[in-house]
Amino acid sequence: MGEIDRLVPSGVIEQWVFHLRRQRARAADTIWLIDQGFTLHDGKCGTPTHDATARWRAEQETVIAEVSDLLKLYDGINLGRDVPVDADSDQVISGGRPAQPVT
């Protein structure tokens, strides 16, 4: 896949980051409610049919992990630090430049 030659305005990026932080906070709040004993159920016509608490908790933990990774990447790029593409990769994104092999 080729490089995209258009720039995204910084205001749009800041809106995305704000949304990601809010999404992570909501997921953390949901996990907190589950830890306090609240349950979530699948249902039909207002009647609960199946306890879906474990599924919801797993989904919210995934949201927190993925959003935290994206925010770490964003912060690393903005602060000019080298950020690994992923834990098993030998590539980094360095200060906003395309991924390059680590030497």
Please return the burial class of 60, using the count of CB atoms within 10 Å of its CB with bins 0-12, 13-18 and 19+. buried
Stretch 59-77: mean pLDDT: 93
pLDDT at residue 47 in the model: 87
Tens digits of per-residue pLDDT, 34-62?
999 999 998 888 888 899 999 999 999 99
User: Is 96 in contact with 77 (CB distance < 8 Å)?
Assistant: yes
Residue 24 has pLDDT above 80, yes or no: yes
Q: What is the 3-state secondary structure (H, E, C) of 33-80?
A: HHHCCCCCEEEECCEEEEECHHHHHHHHHHHHHHHHHHHHHHHHHHCC
pLDDT at residue 1 in the model: 52
Query: Higher pLDDT residue, 10 or 6?
Result: 10
User: Is 20 in contact with 67 (CB distance < 8 Å)?
Assistant: yes
Residue 97: pLDDT band (50, 70, 90) is: very low
